[in-house]
Amino acid sequence: MKSFAVAASAAIALLLPSTGVRAEEPIKIGFAIAESGWLSNYDSAPFKAAVMKIEEINKAGGLLGRQIEYSVMDTKTDQARAATVGAQLVDGGVDMLVVSCDYDFGAPSALAAKQAGKIAFSLCAADPKMGVQGVGSLTFTANSAAQSEGIAIAEYAQKKMNLKSVYVLEDLTIEYNKSACAGFRAAWAAGGGQETILGNDTFKNDDPSIASQITRLKGLAKQPEAVFVCSFTPGGASAVRQLRAAGIDLPILANTAMVDNYWLNAVPGLKDFYLPAFMSLYGDDPRPEMAKFLESHKARYGEPPVSSYAVLGYSLIEQWAYAVEQAKTTESEAVVGVMNSFKDQPFTAGPTSFTDQLHIQVDRPWLIMKVENGSFHAVEVYRNSFKPDMKLLFRVGQ
């Protein structure tokens, strides 16, 4: 399948000069994503789900009566390659360009699309800069802002779990964590007061030990009721393990990057661990559309998605196709016009809103999940009421 897609992409890039679009011509979607390198871990699951949605649309008669063709090219997790591949796909005449799951690596491709006046849609960048302000008015991302993860779990902890104080442990390695922590702190302070954040500490994902951070946490005059760890694997898993090994049995709150069971072996017997997730891969998601998505994925690929980020890729195609149908054209400005008018538009990934200023979700409901008996379990769907303002989204003055 992959080699077919690569061959198709090569053929399209080489053979098709841009010709006038006729009604019977297929609609083309390009994927400038990482198929190798570390980012491929994040890109591959949503990509497979996006392909699944494209096939579903084609089976149902296509989009505007035209079939959708897709081509994929590998950015190799390299910014220069991402720019080149994006330009090649755009040159091959794609109607929409899907770009990598990360602002730093997706933006070069998105810029190429912008220059050609094409829509670029990131699979799952959680940075609001993947949008109007950071790239341009034709750029979108299928994910929620990282700040909203922190906000959701902060509100949930205060309102539903009745936690009164917290300690924040922040991984400074990538921007995503800093954004999630910023969102958490803002929402927690808004709900419970700044003074109930009993302390902040930082570490780096590849720190072998966070013993000194743990010592400082244990040395607090008043112990917190929970710890928020904004990090990602493997460093985040290591931090959680060290917290538990040091006898800290407080509830641990985390951000979405720590979701899914693959790392739980690292912390045997982990419990009281909560985070906001897109969906549950373990059959207990309360939303029927997620169960349906899971079923179709199993039917198509013979296995459930390897990561819950998959649903974002599926929903990306869904959102764009819906907008194309409404606009009755694939012409970028018209499609963006429709997308900007989405207000809680129901899609598989959840209600979706865009405005002419914001091309990322800030209050899409999250599925709160907890770890118990060696697996993540769905708790309930929760929608944050605190909305991040532009200052928080772009982390001005922080």
Partner 1 sequence: MKSNAMPSLASIGRFWLPVLALVVPLVLIVVVTGQFGGLSLQRTVVEMLISIVIVVGLYVFVGNSGIISFGHATFMAIAAYGSAWQTCCEMLKPITMSGLPHFLRDQSIPLLPSAIVSVLLAGAAAFLTGLVIMRLTGLAASIATLAVLFILNVVYSNWDSVTMGSASIVGLPTYVTAWLALGCAVLAIVVAYLYQISAFGLAIRATREDEVAAAASGISLYWSRLIAFTLSGFLVGLGGVLQAHYLGTVSINNFFLGFTFLALAMLIVGGMGSLAGAVVGVVVITAMVDIFRRLEGGISIGGQQWSLPAGTQELIIAAFMLLILVFRKDGIMAGREIALPQQPQREKGLING
Least distance from C-beta 328 to partner 1, angstroms?
A: 31
Least distance from C-beta 93 to partner 1, angstroms?
A: 12
Least distance from C-beta 345 to partner 1, angstroms?
A: 27
Is 353 a binding residue for partner 1 by CB under 8 A? The answer is: no
- What burial class does residue 24 get, using C-beta atoms within 10 Å of its C-beta: 0-12 exposed, 13-18 middle, 19+ buried? exposed
- How far is the C-alpha of 158 from the C-alpha of 255, rounded, in Å? 16
Question: What is the DSSP pairing of strand 197-203 with strand 226-230?
Answer: unpaired
Selection from 264, 278, 288, 232 nearest residue 375 by Cα: 264
Selection from 350, 359, 351 nearest residue 119 by Cα: 359
Region 130-159 residues binding partner 1, contact defined as CB under 8 A = 133-136
Nearer to partner 1, 282 or 394 (CB): 394
String of contacts with partner 1 for each residue 4-33, x by CB under 8 A: --xx--x--xx-------------------
Nearer to partner 1, 90 or 367 (CB): 90
Is 108 a binding residue for partner 1 by CB under 8 A? The answer is: yes
Beta-carbon count within 10 A of 302 CB: 7
Nearer to partner 1, 112 or 312 (CB): 112
Sign of CA dihedral 278, 284, 286, 290: positive
Is 270 a binding residue for partner 1 by CB under 8 A? The answer is: no
Residue of 21, 64, 174, 248 that binds partner 1 (CB under 8 A): 174
Is 41 a binding residue for partner 1 by CB under 8 A? The answer is: no
Residue of 55, 104, 289, 331 that binds partner 1 (CB under 8 A): 104
Asked whether the beta carbons of 51 and 127 are under 8 A apart, the reply is: no
Is 200 a binding residue for partner 1 by CB under 8 A? The answer is: no
Asked whether the beta carbons of 363 and 148 are under 8 A apart, the reply is: yes
- How far is the C-alpha of 305 from the C-alpha of 119, rounded, in Å? 26
Least distance from C-beta 186 to partner 1, angstroms?
A: 16
- How far is the C-alpha of 1 from the C-alpha of 98, rounded, in Å? 18
Q: Which two tokens stand for residue 211?
A: 């013993």
Catalog residues that contact partner 1 under the rule CB under 8 A. 3, 6-7, 10, 13-14, 35-36, 73-74, 76, 79-80, 83-84, 87-88, 91, 103-104, 107-108, 111, 115, 127, 129, 133-136, 173-175, 178, 390, 394, 396-397
